[in-house]
Chains A and B, each alone.
Chain A
Amino acid sequence: MGRYMLRRLANYLILVIVATSLAYFLAALSLNPRANFEAQKPRPTTAQIDATLKTYNLDPETPVVVRYARWVDGIAHGNLGLDIKGGSVADDFGRKVGVSIRLLVIATIIGSIGGVLVGAYGAIKQYRFFDRWTTLASFFLLAMPVFVVAIALQMFAVNINDAAGSTVIQYIGEYNPTLSGFWPVLISRLQHLILPTITLTLFQIAQYSRYQRNTMLDVLGSDFLRTARAKGLRRRTALMKHGLRTAILPIVPLLVYNIVLLFTGATFTETIFGWHGMGEWLVLSITTNDVNSVAAVSLFTAAVVLVAGLLSDLIYSALDPRVRFS
């Protein structure tokens, strides 16, 4: 088991290195950071720009392999380089990851548990009222762009706020920076969390429940569920303990990958609700020709895929004895 996981880890590490290197080369060769400085007002002199690019390790005259080597050397020393404004990418990085985690934790927990339950219950009640309506709602949501849902939710929040007479639900930003003290800040954070969390949760439930419904349907007709009931287990117990427990296996990898990849995939939600997380940063760094930031986000994404792979392997082998010794 340990050896198996070590082998997987080695495989994933190679993948991370390959993916990150390719991303660095792509960014370094295709983005044009010089344009940023040329657009500045007042325009710095060419010599100044050259000097800045050199200090930022963005100098196009230096061979890309050399820049790459410097970048790798920096990483080895915990230094992700400088962003296009001269700040430390590592500092940005820490801040943005924090924002993403705060945004996603609650949404993914509710989203995956909700998705699994909605899907499983829909399968049990196949073609009944609940199943029909959740199926319809899921496909309706999945067919809709995120921003439509987000904006609709914001409009809805406005109505609630109006009705309540005060701003119960906040629709922009992470918290009100003018507040101080533990409780007021916490409450403010929660008020700001409501809308993005609902947006993310809805999409996750819609997606996961479709998969869960299918796998649960397969299990419902199975002989072992019948055996469990023939033993004397109540229907509900048999469905949870033998049914759902088995039906959840095939969607474990899907859940884990989706959740972990949301870290850089919640771009729209972050942008619309004004949360400065990883997804927003990725788009922003590309549009600002910020090579080092792009590379940092790519590194993060690759690392996150590694974590997702290991996690899903671990969870899967914990849940399914059949894969343990292979």
Chain B
Amino acid sequence: MSTASSRAGGTPQDSTTEEGLTPVIETSKEPAADRHGGVPPLLEVSDLHVSFPSEAGPVKAVRGVSYSVRPGEVLGIVGESGSGKSVSSMAVLGLLPDSADVRGSIRMDGRELLGLNDAKMSKIRGKDIAMVFQDPLSALTPVYSIGTQIIEAIQVHQDLDKVKARTRAIELLDLVGIPDPHQRVDAFPHEFSGGMRQRAMIAMAIANDPKIIIADEPTTALDVTIQAQVLEVLKKAQDVTGAAIVMITHDLGVIAGFADRVMVMYAGRPVENGPVDEVYYRPRMPYTIGLLGSIPRVDADERRALTPIDGTPPSMVALPKGCPFEARCPIAIDVCREREPELLTAPGANHPSACHRSRELAEGGGEGLLDPATIYPIPPLPEAHEIERLPREERTAVLEVDNLVKHFPLLKGAVFKRKIGTVKAVDGITLEIKEGETLGLVGESGCGKTTTLLEIMDLTGGQAGSVTVFGKDVREVKGAKARKALRRDMQIVFQDPMASLDARMPIGDILAEPLKTHGWDRARTDARIPELLELVGLNPDHSDRFPQEFSGGQRQRISIARALALEPKLVVLDEPVSALDVSIQAGVLNLLDELKSRMGLSYLFVAHDLSVVRHIADRIAVMYLGRIVELGETRSVFHEPSHPYTQALLSAVPLPDPQKERARERILLTGDLPSPANVPSGCRFRNRCPKYLQLNPGEQQRCESEDPQLHTLAPDHTAACHFAEALAVV
């Protein structure tokens, strides 16, 4: 930090723009410090630099990170992929590869950790600093039982015999909420669900009462309901151990309710740092402002376009001279191109931010000031297509699915297969999409969303029930030719833009393929490709480039262009933005919105992220174990969710709003999604249902014996619950 301050005041031109700015050195000036009195920091990272050698030159992954964590405090580190947030925490643990060049200082309780050898660091890792990693499947060794791995963690640091360590391991598993820990302690990682594995990881992390727990994206791979459970466990773990937590995530919602302070990282540096309320409500750095504006919110009142941050983060090999955010910044001025801003507290601000213009950024704007709410031009909502202006009843249906069923037999035996059960992946689904309409299909992983999509796209009509596309029952459509004609009007966009584009084909050829298949001639095809690229906001001259030359967001745009090449009427989108960073995601969502209005498209939008669906869908269908449990107009489903599952799902979504988030009461679901091979009798949700527990025995009897059907609550709002009752949860 001291170097930062001397540099800030060192050169003459500093004084011109940063006059009156207070260098941030004394962390005690920050409000968070006041709360903890004069307690010295537990962990102090100062001016940390990490670079990796690469063929193109050193990759400067972390470029001057400083932060401190006090006992019991929760620090959130937010940033998009490649911002250096994980690398900097790996450096704290000393777990970076040998090739990494790490400089700066990392002190714990005043002791310098950087430069300690493996033997000395091993005594600190797992004891003073524990870690919870992102993907709990790959983070546990597959060949050892959960118990063995926890016992190992205990015995590395404590002198306990096997029996005592095992008892302790069972206690820990019980603490993190693993049911039946005496049995489960001998289970192997593959026998645990994702949520349970993450609980086991947390048990391992708190085994030695650490002073600090570093959680690197601890809930990213999990469903929202499981995420809520795991966050609860993490909070409990903190209560029990009194540890400080460094929570690394890309999800601003998770941090809002969980952290005391937050540090926003961009291009390897912190760009804003302060108490959560300060940073969320009074951001002073355009990147933070953009990030907050680009997240779709479940608690949104009215429909508005998102404010995407244009462009992509810079390459960490050849960083521009000035501010690394300059190219994407809506308020960049000359000095931004010249010099990188320091992390300083502007007058009138309560927390430091790295922006040359942070002084001018004040809430509400005013004379000579910039209002953070308006620095990003809010794209206008696209003008509604003529179809969209018609009332819903007057539009024709493009897709009608009636009681669709897809069961998979569960087989056993090597040569002679015998059926030992049925996986009810899709178990009677009815939905309808009208022209110019977006239907959002949401649910946890394993609930049958993708199977539903594939059954619809298959055009065979399923095992039972019917699928009607553009008024034609697909069972009636005979012959390859007729089917191909139908396919032209319905296209699909997949989740992973890296995997769904052939890496060996230039994007021009990728876009030409559907056209060629449907018999377009050369000249028409050639004319269509630049048109398509322009349509999705890409440079039409880039048609001879290969997919790997594009970023994730751009590739997803290519996928969309491919789907739109034949001017379909219905586009099926399978988690189209879940692989993208939030700032990129906003741009793709806006594009989808705009294309829909411009071309009069209908979307079937499958997602697990409720806020994304809230933003884009006109109507929404909530799926649970192969059934739709609630279906209706988006606004009404979000404001008056009536099925207990929808309520739990909505209440589990973290809001990027610290005060709201702290005040919220979560409806926590117990356990995991049951296997679709073993569907409970009566209402399939009852064994996890919070409402069921409040019912009297007679009513419970009804849930156990009678399978609830969708019944109407309001015009265009149905729910499949015997005791449906609206409950506002966001």
Partners in one complex: yes
If the complex has contacts A223-B135, A246-B142, are A234 and B130 also in contact, measured as CB distance less than 8 A?
no
Residue of B119, B122, B140, B414 near A224 (CB, 8 A) is: B140
B371 → A minimal CB distance (Å): 44
What residues of chain B lie closer than 8 Å to A245, measured between beta carbons? 141, 143
B119 cross-chain contacts in A, Cβ below 8 A: 234
B210 CB to closest chain A CB (Å) equals 10
* A7 to B201 CA separation, bound complex (whole angstroms): 38
A66 within 8 Å of B (CB atoms) = no
Indicate if the CB atoms of A233 and B95 lie closer than 8 Å. Answer: no
Q: Is B685 an interface residue, CB under 8 A from the partner?
A: no
State in angstroms the CA–CA spacing of A39 and B130 once bound together: 82
In the assembled complex, A69 has its CB within 8 A of some CB on chain B = no
Q: Tell me which of A7, A229, A242, A249 contacts B125 (CB under 8 A).
A: A229
The reply on A320 being an interface residue by CB < 8 A is: yes
Are A230 and B130 neighbours in the complex by a CB distance under 8 Å?
A: yes
A177 at the interface (CB under 8 A from B): no
**B130-159 toward A: CB 8 Å interface, digit per residue (1/0)?**
110111001111111100010011001100
Q: Check A232 against B142 for contact (C-beta < 8 Å).
A: no
Query: A223 to B153, Cβ gap below 8 A?
Result: no
A71 to B153, CA, bound (A): 61
Q: Known contacts A223-B135, A229-B125, A321-B188: does B118 contact A234 (CB below 8 Å)?
A: yes
State whether A227 touches B133 (Cβ < 8 A).
yes
Name the residue among A223, A224, A227, A246 with the largest chain B CB count within 10 angstroms.
A227
Q: How far is the CA of A233 from the CA of B143 in the complex (A)?
A: 17
Per the CB 8 Å criterion, the residue count for chain A at the interface is 22
In the complex with contacts A321-B188, A322-B188, A224-B127 CB distance below 8 A: no
Instruction: Indicate whether A232 sits within 8 Å of B139 (C-beta atoms), given known contacts A226-B95, A321-B145, A322-B190.
Output: no
- Cross-chain contact of B142 among A230, A234, A235, A322 (Cβ < 8 A): A322
Inter-chain CA distance A319–B188, complex, in Å, is 13
Across the interface, which residues of A come within 8 angstroms of B7, CB to CB? Answer: none
Tell me whether A227 and B188 are in contact (CB under 8 A).
no
Shortest distance from the beta carbon of A188 to any chain B beta carbon, whole Å: 45
B139 touches A223 (CB 8 A): yes
Question: With contacts A222-B138, A319-B143 known, is A232 near B123, CB below 8 A?
Answer: yes
**Residues of B close to A231: CB separation below 8 A:** 125-126, 149, 152-153, 156, 204
Complex interface: chain A residues within 8 A of B93 (CB): 229-230
A228 within 8 A of B: yes
Residue among B124, B143, B201 making CB contact with A249, cutoff 8 Å: B143
Q: In the assembled complex, how far is the CB of residue A323 from the closest CB belonging to chain B, in whole angstroms?
A: 10
* Structural contact, A320 and B143, CB atoms closer than 8 A: yes
* Known contacts A226-B95, A321-B188, A322-B188; A232/B141 CB under 8 A: no
Q: Chain B contacts of A235 at CB under 8 A? A: 118, 122
A 301-322 binary contact with B (CB < 8 Å = 1; else 0) = 0000000000000000001111
Residues of B within 8 Å of A322, CB to CB, are 142-143, 188, 190
Complex Cα distance, B688 from A120, in Å, reads 47
B-facing residues in A234-270 (Cβ within 8 Å): 234-235, 242, 245-246, 249
Most B Cβ at <10 Å: residue of A222, A230, A233, A249: A230
**Among A226, A233, A249, A320, contact of B139 (Cβ-Cβ < 8 Å):** A226
**Residue B143 contacts which of A7, A227, A229, A246 (CB distance < 8 angstroms)?**
A246
If A227-B140, A246-B143, A321-B143 touch, does A232 touch B133 (CB 8 Å cutoff)?
A: no
B153: min CB distance to chain A, Å: 4
Please tell me if the beta carbons of A230 and B141 are within 8 angstroms of each other in the complex. Answer: no
- A241 to B: closest C-beta gap in Å: 8
Contact partners of B134 in chain A: CB under 8 A:
223
Q: Looking at the assembled complex, report how far the CB atom of A11 sits from the nearest CB atom of chain B, in whole angstroms.
A: 9
Contact A227 B141 (CB under 8 A): yes
Q: Quick check: A224 and B142 within 8 Å, CB to CB?
A: yes
A54 to chain B, nearest CB (A): 43
Binding site secondary structure of chain A: helix
B131 CB to nearest chain A CB (Å): 4
Given A233-B122, A322-B190, A223–B127 Cβ distance below 8 Å?
no
Contact A227 B131 (CB under 8 A): yes
- Chain A residues within an 8 Å CB radius of B208: 232
- A5 CB to closest chain B CB (Å) equals 14
Q: Which residues of A contact B95 (CB under 8 A)?
A: 226, 229-230
Q: Is there contact, CB below 8 Å, between A228 and B142? A: no
Is the pair B153, A232 in contact by a Cβ cutoff of 8 Å? yes
Check if A223 sits within 8 Å of B152, measured CB to CB: no
A227 partner residues in chain B, CB cutoff 8 A: 131, 133, 139-141, 201, 204
In the bound assembly, the distance between CA atoms of A322 and B144 in angstroms comes to: 10
Minimum CB distance partner of A221 in chain B: B97
Residues on A with beta carbons closer than 8 Å to the beta carbon of B126: 230-233
Tell me the B71-97 residues at the A interface (CB within 8 Å): 93, 95
Measured between beta carbons, the chain B residues less than 8 angstroms from A222 are 138
Alpha-carbon gap, A58 to B156, bound state (A): 69
* Closest partner residue, chain A, to B187 (CB atom): A321
Do residues A234 and B143 form an inter-chain contact, with CB atoms below 8 A? no
Closest chain A residue to B139 by CB distance?
Answer: A223
A57 vs B138: C-alpha distance when bound (angstroms): 61
Contacts of B156 in A (CB 8 A): 231-233
Interface residues as binary, B152-172 with A (CB distance below 8 Å gives 1, 0 otherwise): 110011000000000000000
**For window 257-311 of chain A, which residues contact chain B by CB distance below 8 Å?**
none
CA distance in complex: A7, B144 (Å): 27
B131 touching A232, Cβ below 8 Å: no
Looking across the interface, which residue of chain B has its beta carbon closest to that of A246?
Answer: B143
The complex places the Cα of A223 from the Cα of B145 at a distance, in Å, of 16
Q: In the complex, A233→B135 CA distance in Å?
A: 20
Known A-B contacts A227-B141, A242-B141, A321-B145; the reply to A234 vs B135 at CB < 8 A is no
Distance (Å) between the CB of B529 and the closest chain A CB? Answer: 39
Are A224 and B139 closer than 8 Å at their CB atoms? yes
CB contacts under 8 Å to A, within B552-576, are: none
Within 8 A of A (CB), among B99-138: 118-119, 122-127, 130-131, 133-135, 138
What sequence of 0s and 1s flags, for each residue 13-49 of chain A, a beta carbon within 8 Å of any chain B beta carbon? 0000000000000000000000000000000000000
CB distance from B585 to the nearest CB of A (A): 25
Measured between beta carbons, the chain A residues less than 8 angstroms from B142 are 224, 246, 320-322
By a CB distance below 8 angstroms, the chain B residues around A320 are 142-143
Q: Which residues of B contact A226 (CB under 8 A)?
A: 95, 133, 139
Contact string, A198-236, partner B, CB cutoff 8 A, digits 1/0?
000000000000000000000000111011111111110
- Residues on A with C-beta less than 8 A from B149 are 231
Cβ-defined partner of B141 (8 Å) among A7, A234, A246, A319 = A246
Distance in angstroms from B87 CB to nearest chain A CB is: 13
CA distance A7 to B134 in the complex (A): 40
The list of the 7 closest CB pairs from A to B, nearest first, reads A232-B126, A230-B131, A231-B126, A223-B138, A223-B139, A231-B153, A232-B156
Beyond A224-B140, A227-B133, A242-B144, 16 additional pairs, beta carbon < 8 A: A224-B141, A226-B139, A227-B131, A227-B141, A227-B201, A232-B122, A232-B125, A233-B126, A235-B118, A246-B143, A320-B142, A320-B143, A321-B188, A321-B190, A322-B142, A322-B143
A contacts, CB < 8 Å to B: 7, 222-224, 226-235, 242, 245-246, 249, 319-322
Task: Supply 13 A–B pairs (Cβ within 8 Å), ascending by A.
Answer: A222-B138, A223-B138, A224-B140, A224-B141, A226-B133, A226-B139, A227-B133, A227-B141, A229-B122, A231-B125, A231-B152, A233-B152, A320-B143
